[in-house]
Structure 1
Amino acid sequence: MTELPQQESSDDTESASELLEEVLREFAELDSAAEPLRVELVTSEILGEWWEAGDDLAAELIEFASAAPEPERLVAPLAALRSLATTEDQREAAGLALEKLGLGEPAWAGELNQVAVGECWRTADVYGDESSVLCVFGAGESAHGLLVSVGYALFGGWADEAVIVESPGEVIAEMQTQAAESGDLVTCEQITPGRAHQLLADAFVGTELQNDPEVTDDYVRFRALAMARTRALPEPEPVDPPRLLSTEDQAEAIDEFFRASADLEDTEAARVVALRLIEFGVEHDPRRPLRVGPDKLASFVDSVDDGALELTEEQDETLEKVLPAWASWGAWRDGLPEEAVEPLLEAVEDRLYERALETESTVDAYLDGFDDLDEQSVARLLERRQFAIPAIYTEIAGEEVELDPSDPEQRRLLVIGEHPDFQDSLAEDDLDEEAFLQVAAHTTVVDQLWDDEPAEVWQAAQRLLQRGLERTEVLDELARVLEERLEMGEGDSLEFDVDDYCRALDELN
């Protein structure tokens, strides 16, 4: 069958044109005498909307300038992008496009991001989990500040909030008061602008490394301006490189941990959990890989639960004993003040308690429809259903979702989540008969395993597992057997001969 070539959607083209037209209208409302900060805020908000939507309309606008029917309308947005675009390539391209137009620029064009740098301040919690950086720009009544919140539990530190503040002096006073009232849990210090540049630049990189960072609305709105103000700071000061831990260093740290944790049983499973904690630190906190903090340890647990870090069942059970001991040892090792240790241990216990509740809720979903089973029956039921659906989390259209495997429709989504090829076809409404049968076969096999009906499906799966096949290979084999026997019935229904299907399953060995 010959396929027609894919054409660009006219709806998408019209949508992009409408957005660009809206931008041109917004800049048309900014007269030549507009305050530079107002222009920067308008530009930053527009760029934030594009960034949040995943659309690189800045590049389209720059490209559009060369053939624009009304080039004078492009002067203002190009002048703004020359200073505020978030990549150097786009800033240079906007400048070149503006130069080619050869038209007069607004009075504010040369004043964008031309600001005097004032004081810079930083607060940080004693654990090293969170920090806020404030940089003052300008002086007197025109002074404003950039305030950025940075978390260090993941990605080597990343910014989740950024805002332009009108009264930076008041914010500095609030930061100092917070530190004074916290005892020894929060510090506040004035830092050099070069140090602030390094902290902010690294934090923005950490945010940009993520596919879908959880940031505030203010971060989206002020992102472009915050990055521009960071570039206005003096050159970043050099910092210590990441601390490299050799295999020997990691083994020594684990030995030291168990020597200091007399109440913790020194088992292979416990040692693996300690090693995973070190590996997590090396990846996400490279300058202080052994540091402990409530947010960092909670993120470690989240990574285990999300499947990013793999533990066996035995190792997972040991986690609840290892983590509090690791927190206690780390607090001693980091020299945390006494008043910081108890909140740390309480935060760890709270996270483990929440995890136990989540696990109990998950187990309830897998035991749906069965009551008063003995321990062996529960184990067999969980083995079969967790083979069919190993996790209640999946990614659909780039977004992680939690679903209930006991609900047939949500169970189907969990199956589809394991097959990105299915997702693409379904999203484009482009399932041909072959793809349709593949989706039907995989989802039906999982339903059969969940319900243990017919029983031959699970029996065949167990035999294939004993042969050394991986779970995905087993499911593919079972789905193949069913797919070969599926026939189209009335409407869109599918039919198959159960007896023939079971005989074919029995022959799988």
Structure 2
Amino acid sequence: MSDPHRHRYRAPGPESPEAVFAEMLVAARELLAVRSPLDAELMVSDMLGAWWGQRVRGGDVEQVLGEGLVDYAAKAGTPAALTLLITIAYLGTSRQAAKAEGAALALMESKVARPRWVERVGAVKPVECFVSRDAYGDQDTVVCTFAYRGEDALSDPNTPPTEDPHALVVVVDYNLRGMARDAWVSSQVDKLLEQARAEAEANPMLRFEPLEPQQARALLEVAMKATRESGGRGRPYPVSDSYRTYHAFARARVKALPPGRKRPAPLYSEAPYNRERRAMLAAEFLASDAAEQLSDPSAASRCADHIIDYGCDQDFGRPLRVSPTKCETFLLDWLPRKVLLSPAEQEAMPHVLAAWVRFAAPRMGLPEHAVRATLDAVWEATAKFTEAYRDPTTFGLDRSLVQRLLPDKDLSALARRAFAFPYLEGVRGTVILDRLNPADEADRRILIELDHLEERHRPDLHEHLAWHEEIAKRLWDGEPPQLWDAAQRLLDLGHDRHDVLHVLIEIAERIGDHPDELIAALDEIADLPDPPL
């Protein structure tokens, strides 16, 4: 099997997508020389991965660039273009596939030549599926094997596939909300499976076991959906370059698996934890020998609540699962972004987490060396935690002010809520701002009215204030997230707060109750180099 990594395509820039389409069509001439549909599919998957996950002005990248490439190939009308279209009809998104299939049929009716093997593009059948799981429960590595039906067997769907066997390997990371973060393809199926079995036999921290194809499909569909939802909004997708390269290929192969089963639960999954069950678990922990040395019971209790909530809400209902990676992610990534801790809680948290490891690990059945490795990770992260966790009060913000803005302790909401309600201290006329609660609807209205004293004579003031209330509420709740992303983009370009709010109001008022259209409009505004205000 040829190596698809020899093809590295640059993503189209906003000024010259046509030039890159032309470059890709030149590269597509190599499709005429390959002898296997597998090689062709991998080559085209690499092409489609050039822009996967990127943002472009004017709409969804898969429509603007993916469908743009289809249109460009359709106009070219060459054998290479036809071969490319046939392959995209299998690998592309549903819209790309439909357009590519229509364009390919038109070129075929015009008698444009094509290689013989194109009849077998996508003519694969699943053979076996497996999953390799680490004993920590951090990740699943899913292995799905496939083979093509030969030319003589295309008319008989019952004929076992035998040609070009290959394996799709996808890594599902449960410390990243169960997203697929890596993928690759191997033609050395027997060697790959033999190596996986040998590693599991030699390492008690690994399990390698068969997986029903229906379950593999359900697991991978959910994981790839989580990946799509993990980036965007100005954030990079936390995936490997290999995932981008094989994304289109993996998406098509997952669809080739039979549907019909629920996703297999991650290791150590339990029945859902309601608030009562969480409280009982916290009480059990605080009464255990593991928590005996904790010096501040009150802070320890609040820290335990955060640990349990993280495990339940961010780790598929697994508060008792511990691992080096999970503990590091909790201390150095999630807490600094999401939770407002008191000074006592900041001091106690690493010690409570270490006690939690000693309490939870035996329930998971982790061997002693794995417990030690997890505790080592906690202590190594402790010094970094003091640097990673930024208490808002260290920036000069009064703690009582921060608590008014964060009654839910959602630290990630501080910036957008402070933007929505920047005046919460001092006196305005006869109103003492320190006594107003921005989480209260009536007080929120007063704050917005005070922000518009100079506009109190405008004839549409009531309606205008209602829209300001609506935007303020959305910013407070963080829904949709693109609202705050767009506001930050405009602020970064030097526009003042009130003008930015008016832009957001104009968009929301114009689009009305159409969430998808609102998100698209906000994304487009956020991409403008110099948005009109």
* TM-score of the superposed pair, with normalisation by structure 1: 0.64
Q: Residue 246 of structure 1 aligns to which amino acid in structure 2?
A: N
Please state if 1:136 is matched with 2:145. yes
Give the C-alpha shift of residue 162 in structure 1: 0.8
Q: Residue 77 of structure 1 aligns to which amino acid in structure 2?
A: L
Say which of 64, 69, 85 aligns to 1:61.
Answer: 69
Structure 2 equivalent of residue 190 of structure 1: 210
Please state if 1:107 is matched with 2:113. no
Give the C-alpha shift of residue 352 in structure 1: 2.0
C-alpha distance in structure 1 between counterparts of 2:255 and 2:279, whole Å = 42
Say which of 156, 161, 173 aligns to 1:151.
Answer: 173
Counterpart contact for 2:175–2:329, Cα < 8 Å? yes
Structure 1 equivalent of residue 366 of structure 2: 336
Q: Residue 324 of structure 2 aligns to which amino acid in structure 1?
A: P
Say which of 80, 84, 88 aligns to 1:81.
Answer: 88
Please state if 1:262 is matched with 2:299. no
Counterpart contact for 2:332–2:385, Cα < 8 Å? no
What aligned pairs does 1:198-213 form with structure 2 within 5 A after superposition? 198-211=218-231, 212-213=236-237
> 1:348-381: per-residue Cα shift (whole Å, max 9, x none)?
222224435x469x99xx9xxxxxxxxxxxx9xx
Instruction: Determine helix, strand or coil for the equivalent of 1:291.
Output: coil
C-alpha distance in structure 1 between counterparts of 2:47 and 2:490, whole Å = 30
Give the C-alpha shift of residue 278 in structure 1: 2.2
CA 1:355/1:180 → structure 2, altered by over 3 Å: closer, same or farther?
same
Please state if 1:223 is matched with 2:230. no
Q: Residue 82 of structure 1 aligns to which amino acid in structure 2?
A: A
Counterpart contact for 1:303–1:309, Cα < 8 Å? no
C-alpha distance in structure 2 between counterparts of 1:150 and 1:216, whole Å = 12
Instruction: Determine helix, strand or coil for the equivalent of 2:176.
Output: coil
CA 1:335/1:39 → structure 2, altered by over 3 Å: closer, same or farther?
same
C-alpha distance in structure 1 between counterparts of 2:131 and 2:264, whole Å = 18
Q: Residue 28 of structure 1 aligns to which amino acid in structure 2?
A: R
Structure 2 equivalent of residue 492 of structure 1: none
Counterpart contact for 2:32–2:83, Cα < 8 Å? no
Counterpart contact for 1:84–1:224, Cα < 8 Å? yes
Give the C-alpha shift of residue 52 in structure 1: 4.8
Instruction: Determine helix, strand or coil for the equivalent of 2:116.
Output: coil
Give the C-alpha shift of residue 423 in structure 1: 4.5
C-alpha distance in structure 2 between counterparts of 1:112 and 1:73, whole Å = 15
Instruction: Determine helix, strand or coil for the equivalent of 1:299.
Output: helix
> 1:8-56: per-residue Cα shift (whole Å, max 9, x none)?
xxx9665111111122222233228742011101111011111154443
C-alpha distance in structure 2 between counterparts of 1:125 and 1:326, whole Å = 21
Instruction: Determine helix, strand or coil for the equivalent of 1:50.
Output: coil
* Structure 1 unaligned spans of 5+: 1-10, 367-378, 395-417, 439-509
What aligned pairs does 1:303-452 form with structure 2 within 5 A after superposition? 303-304=333-334, 306-356=336-386, 358=387, 384=396, 421=487, 423-424=489-490
Give the C-alpha shift of residue 287 in structure 1: 4.5
CA 1:248/1:287 → structure 2, altered by over 3 Å: closer, same or farther?
closer
Q: Residue 215 of structure 2 aligns to which amino acid in structure 1?
A: R
* Structure 2 unaligned spans of 5+: 1-11, 56-60, 148-160, 403-411, 413-483, 501-533
Counterpart contact for 2:139–2:172, Cα < 8 Å? yes
Structure 2 equivalent of residue 461 of structure 1: none
Q: Residue 221 of structure 2 aligns to which amino acid in structure 1?
A: A
Counterpart contact for 2:327–2:374, Cα < 8 Å? no
Say which of 187, 211, 226 aligns to 1:166.
Answer: 187
Instruction: Determine helix, strand or coil for the equivalent of 2:287.
Output: helix
Counterpart contact for 1:281–1:291, Cα < 8 Å? yes
Across the aligned residues of Structure 1 and Structure 2, the Cα RMSD in angstroms comes to: 3.6
Give the C-alpha shift of residue 245 in structure 1: 2.2
Max Rg structure: 1
> 1:88-138: per-residue Cα shift (whole Å, max 9, x none)?
333234334444554456533332222232232221111100221222222
CA 1:228/1:249 → structure 2, altered by over 3 Å: closer, same or farther?
same
Structure 2 equivalent of residue 41 of structure 1: 42
C-alpha distance in structure 1 between counterparts of 2:260 and 2:318, whole Å = 20
Structure 1 equivalent of residue 304 of structure 2: 274
User: Among the aligned pairs, what percent are the same residue?
Assistant: 28
C-alpha distance in structure 1 between counterparts of 2:398 and 2:20, whole Å = 47
Instruction: Determine helix, strand or coil for the equivalent of 1:328.
Output: helix
Structure 1 equivalent of residue 480 of structure 2: none
What aligned pairs does 1:433-472 form with structure 2 within 5 A after superposition? none
Give the C-alpha shift of residue 141 in structure 1: 7.2
Give the C-alpha shift of residue 171 in structure 1: 1.5
C-alpha distance in structure 1 between counterparts of 2:30 and 2:207, whole Å = 45
C-alpha distance in structure 2 between counterparts of 1:264 and 1:103, whole Å = 79
Say which of 277, 285, 288 aligns to 1:249.
Answer: 277
Counterpart contact for 1:125–1:187, Cα < 8 Å? yes
Counterpart contact for 1:72–1:103, Cα < 8 Å? no
Instruction: Determine helix, strand or coil for the equivalent of 1:264.
Output: coil
Counterpart contact for 1:240–1:287, Cα < 8 Å? no
CA 1:226/1:422 → structure 2, altered by over 3 Å: closer, same or farther?
closer
> 1:362-404: per-residue Cα shift (whole Å, max 9, x none)?
99xx9xxxxxxxxxxxx9xx564999xx9xxx9xxxxxxxxxx
Instruction: Determine helix, strand or coil for the equivalent of 1:197.
Output: helix
C-alpha distance in structure 2 between counterparts of 1:177 and 1:13, whole Å = 49
> 1:204-234: per-residue Cα shift (whole Å, max 9, x none)?
1222111122222221211111221122122
Structure 2 equivalent of residue 94 of structure 1: 100
Give the C-alpha shift of residue 70 in structure 1: 4.4
Counterpart contact for 1:151–1:160, Cα < 8 Å? yes
Q: Residue 205 of structure 1 aligns to which amino acid in structure 2?
A: K
Indicate the larger mover: 69-78 or 340-349. 69-78
CA 1:226/1:384 → structure 2, altered by over 3 Å: closer, same or farther?
same
